[in-house]
Structure 1
């Protein structure tokens, strides 16, 4: 197995096991850097990354099972690792979550709208977990942190930014629309291979 492929396989298989340590490190760093100014946009973006990591623990580590749940209930494939597989889950959570939010936290002025766009994505993600629970009438991995963290935090960000004139109502609405659109590439990553292979499985 080529070294690069082996490294990618290791990350795809084990990234979630690093989450508890990362949560502790990011939380400690956040307190040191933003304890005196927790409502700055940079502090908000850094807190969003921390909150997302806690959410990922619920989805993929404890109790975990998001991948298996999506395959069983959303796609109904009868397989634990298709179309939502380990590699795709790692790609989404690292490249589509950690990377843009982390960069926005590092460069809050240059990437302000990236950070705010991912606040919109997080708000929509929280609603999607609740919608999934309503649809399938049962717990889905990520529901608790969606209710306890995602929705309160993102509503607070929008309310705080609106109250100090940093965001208008129309801009908040646009960010929520952006949050919906930002889910399209994630869905396509799994839906496209599912649609292409469904006829062969019937």
Structure 2
């Protein structure tokens, strides 16, 4: 997706998470230098929240895909493949279910693309930010549940607990408390995020285990699912789109 016009496939497949990490200060500078509106609470500013959620996820990707809590590099690649093969009871298989290319596309579509849409559409369109929040919450839950089941650390667990859980819960709570007309959007954002994770796993298995579809078709499905939030609840009335700070 990102690398096709650049012709830098191998470089980006191996280093996309580094690019995301290095982009954080520039993203924050660009946002705060161009910010014109102030709110009493950052939770009430959907554009600020969309930027915060994307920065939190870029930080999470550092731990997950670059250097984990114990100093292991690119640990999630091996962890995810081992986990999936274990679920399939095929630990001795040499098949790579989650290729490096797949991990790149998953993260640049379901995270970077969704985050970019959330920033672009806010503050007048709330749902993309809620969808990004849903991805954050559901991903955190998946890390925590996996850790509980395995009784072990997994790459990304620390940031999932320290960043994702408090951010996602606080933003959903703010929306529900200050904007009761957005309740359906909150519910749908969680459903969308759960389905995104189901598509993520089922698509990997369909493409690389059962060989039902080519891997590029799986990538297209991921991108399509990632842009759906831009079209949902777009016609909702103004009061259901914008958060107001509590007095």
**TM-score range normalised by the length of the shorter chain:** 0.7 to 0.9
1:32 positional shift: 3.5
The answer to whether the 8 A contact 1:88-1:189 is kept is: no
1:161 positional shift: 1.1
Instruction: Give the corresponding residue for 2:224.
Output: none
**Cα distance in 2 between the residues matched to 1:95 and 1:18:** 15
Instruction: Give the corresponding residue for 1:200.
Output: none
Matched, 1:72 2:82: yes
1:10 positional shift: 2.2
Choose from 130, 143, 153 the match for 1:129: 143
Instruction: Give the corresponding residue for 2:10.
Output: 9
Matched, 1:105 2:106: no
Matched, 1:85 2:86: no
Count of residues in correspondence between the two structures: 195
The answer to whether the 8 A contact 1:104-1:115 is kept is: yes
**Cα distance in 2 between the residues matched to 1:131 and 1:107:** 32
**Higher mean displacement: 5-14 or 84-93:** 5-14
Matched, 1:42 2:47: yes
The answer to whether the 8 A contact 2:14-2:100 is kept is: yes
Structure 1, unaligned runs of 5 or more: 198-202
**Cα distance in 2 between the residues matched to 1:30 and 1:126:** 26
Matched, 1:23 2:24: yes
**Higher mean displacement: 8-17 or 53-62:** 8-17
**Cα distance in 2 between the residues matched to 1:184 and 1:13:** 25
Structure 2, unaligned runs of 5 or more: 69-73, 212-247
Q: Aligned with 2:210: secondary structure?
A: helix
**Cα distance in 2 between the residues matched to 1:106 and 1:69:** 33
Q: Which has the higher contact order (CA 8 A, sep 6+)?
A: 2
Structure 1 pair 158–69 and aligned structure 2 pair: CA distance change class (3 A): same
1:190 positional shift: 1.5
Question: Which protein is richer in helix relative to its size?
Answer: 1
**Higher mean displacement: 27-36 or 134-143:** 27-36
